[in-house]
Structure 1
Amino acid sequence: MSLADHIFIDMCNDILTNGTSTEGEKVRPHWPDGTPAYTIKKFGVVNRYDLSKEFPILTLRRTALKSATDEMLWIWQRKSNNIHDLNSHVWDEWADENGSIGKAYGYQMQVKHQYKEGMMDQVDRVIYDLKNNPFSRRIMTNIYVHQDLHEMNLYPCAYSMTFNVTQKKGEDRLTLNAILNQRSQDVLAANNWNVVQYAVLVYMLAQVCDMNVGELVHVIADAHIYDRHVDAIKELICREPFPAPKFWLNPEIKDFYQFTPDDVKLEGYQTGEQIKDIPIAI
């Protein structure tokens, strides 16, 4: 099986077996019919993906690579907070009549800050440091900005990336590693979606900074399975996985702002049947 499948199955089994339930507690999330959305949760889940060995996409069911990449670029490249700039409908529930999700996600990525080297936004700062000071221990982003939370239609879930560069013995090129910090995650709906997004981001940044890809470490403070997702998760993790596909990134692109979803693809991607009509708690 693919390593991503193995990690996902182990995580889900751990949550179902050793997690704690919020049933009966006062919870914010609810189902569209108004019923409270309870979860089985684990605190402090840490998953490690070695991108140099395998691209971490599930084969148990299909993850839409291009759509996931488009959403990541919406935040990191287009730096938008408007769903009209996005080609999927995953954010529609949180948008206002003008399509805005407030001062969230892409909005925070385009805010310029004063550095000793001049004014830069967070994305440009990351690229600047990777190219000019790669061994810095300060290469990170944060979109959980407390002063703007009241103007966000949804508080950021995946809120911080920390980049760390290493020099492997016997290799001339540097290796780019990253940690994705997430305060909360709906495991069925979003786990592999987020892993794929930020794996693609690491690949893109590594390419434009002339580095090799290394590890993506995913830290989830509250990894949860919703009550109405339990049966689907149990069926999913009993499936027979397929071998991991090969990931392709257009080698011609050397500027992060030139990437499009058409610059990524998978070779030999076999999957199990898709799970359709997943209820989403709001």
Structure 2
Amino acid sequence: MSNSESLYMNLLKHILDHGTRKEDRTGTGTISVFGYQMRFDLNDGFPLITTKRVPFRLIVSELLWFIKGDTNIRYLLQHNNNIWNEWAFLKWVESDEYAGPDMKDFGLRSQQDPEFNKQYEEQMAIFKRNILEDERFAERFGDLGNVYGSQWRHWKTSQGETIDQLQDVIASIKKNPDSRRLIVTAWSPEDVPTSALPPCHSLFQFYVANNKLSCQLYQRSGDVFLGIPFNIASYALLTHMIAHECGLGVGDFIHTIGDAHIYNNHLDQINTQLSREPRDLPSLKLNTSKTSIFDFEVDDVRLEGYDPHPTIKAPVAV
């Protein structure tokens, strides 16, 4: 077993063995631990989980969405990425413009009621088509407000100005790599009440030593089965991309999680995953002709040697 995969598998086991049962915002219920850290050596291979297939292109398009400062799911849907659909869909079905069947608590009801799930899928298909084809509809219901892209690239100041945190931190790495202020934050108390989903990965910090770039993420809350594998790969990719732009090698990705939880309706899936033998990690290939992370497109990022076990499906708690 690769060290990177064992770190994740140990987290799953730790929560099952030592977690506390808690209620949560979604009504699903979780098993949770507070305060957990993993350290991935990015020179050991790209840390994408192999005990189930993780759709890497979705990770790439989501990260590029953040990097571009975009907050509208239209870009994601154009890349067949449905990760953020439910939060935008919720805005639509709670609006005066929505005239379809009642979608209250659609996240739970779609799992429990096959007839309702059929209605939900029909309305979601209508919603996605409208986002892609109707610019006014996309502007009204596709934008998620002050989520990661906005906070990374357009942080609002008390003076009515904006700060491009991501661009600034890259410039700082190049100019003063020994700085202890190489930080990007997404957590803004003022914006929490109006965000579709207040930032889970709240703050990340870079560190340069021996000509290598490392990154530490503080994540306030993590869905360990569905979300955490994405987060590990996303921040590992971000570290590789920034290291490439800055002419550095890669060091470690350190993942610190506040509330690390397993949803009660993911337990069977996790037991299946824990029964599988991990495989060799893939390697990451970037288009080295791109010299700025802001110029990358989805096809500029690819993996070699990714041979995972089959996908394990599980519902998203909304």
- 2:75 is matched with 85
Instruction: Give 1:9 shift.
Output: 1.2
| 1:3–1:56 CA contact under 8 A, matched in 2 | no
Q: Distance in 1 between matches of 2:57 and 2:310?
A: 18
Structure 1 residues 119 and 81: alpha-carbon distance in aligned structure 2, compared to 1, 3 A threshold: closer
| 1:46–1:220 CA contact under 8 A, matched in 2 | yes
Question: Within the alignment, does 1:214 sit opposite 2:251 as a pair?
Answer: yes
Specify the SS of the correspondent of 2:142: coil
Identity score, percent: 36
- 1:189 is matched with 226
Structure 1 segments of 4 or more deviating over 4 A? none
The range that moved more, 174-183 or 95-104, is 95-104
- 2:47 is matched with 56
Task: Give the TM-score normalised by structure 2.
Answer: 0.79
| 2:87–2:197 CA contact under 8 A, matched in 1 | yes
Question: Within the alignment, does 1:110 sit opposite 2:153 as a pair?
Answer: yes
Q: Distance in 2 between matches of 1:113 and 1:13?
A: 41
- 1:69 is matched with 60
| 1:179–1:219 CA contact under 8 A, matched in 2 | yes
- 2:286 is matched with 249
Instruction: Give 1:233 shift.
Output: 0.2
Equivalenced residue count is 262
The range that moved more, 258-267 or 207-216, is 258-267
Bigger helix fraction: 2
Instruction: Give 1:4 shift.
Output: 2.6
Question: Following superposition of structure 1 onto structure 2, how do residues 1-282 of structure 1 map, counting pairs within 5 Å?
Answer: 1-22=1-22, 25=23, 27-29=24-26, 36-75=27-66, 77-86=67-76, 87=79, 88-95=81-88, 96-97=91-92, 98-111=141-154, 120-167=163-210, 174-276=211-313, 278-282=314-318
Q: Distance in 1 between matches of 2:275 and 2:162?
A: 51
The range that moved more, 242-251 or 217-226, is 242-251
CA deviation profile, 1:253-280 (whole Å, cap 9, x unmatched)? 211111112122222211111112x111
Specify the SS of the correspondent of 2:255: strand
- Give the residue type in structure 2 aligned to 1:279: P
Specify the SS of the correspondent of 1:147: coil
CA RMSD of aligned residues (A): 1.6
The range that moved more, 93-102 or 53-62, is 93-102
Instruction: Give 1:119 shift.
Output: 7.3
Specify the SS of the correspondent of 2:237: helix
- Give the residue type in structure 1 aligned to 2:315: P
Specify the SS of the correspondent of 1:161: strand
Structure 1 residues 271 and 130: alpha-carbon distance in aligned structure 2, compared to 1, 3 A threshold: same
- 2:107 is matched with none
Instruction: Give 1:153 shift.
Output: 1.2
Q: Distance in 1 between matches of 2:156 and 2:247?
A: 26
- Structure (1 or 2) with the larger CA radius of gyration: 2
| 2:283–2:304 CA contact under 8 A, matched in 1 | yes
| 1:3–1:54 CA contact under 8 A, matched in 2 | no
Structure 1 residues 111 and 229: alpha-carbon distance in aligned structure 2, compared to 1, 3 A threshold: same
Q: Distance in 2 between matches of 1:120 and 1:18?
A: 41
Instruction: Give 1:182 shift.
Output: 0.4
Q: Which runs of 5+ in 1 are unaligned?
A: 30-35, 168-173
| 2:217–2:256 CA contact under 8 A, matched in 1 | yes
CA deviation profile, 1:23-64 (whole Å, cap 9, x unmatched)? xx5x322xxxxxx21111111110100002221111101111
- 1:170 is matched with none
CA deviation profile, 1:162-204 (whole Å, cap 9, x unmatched)? 011112xxxxxx1101101100011111111111011000000
| 1:2–1:58 CA contact under 8 A, matched in 2 | no
| 1:143–1:159 CA contact under 8 A, matched in 2 | yes
Q: Distance in 1 between matches of 2:214 and 2:222?
A: 22
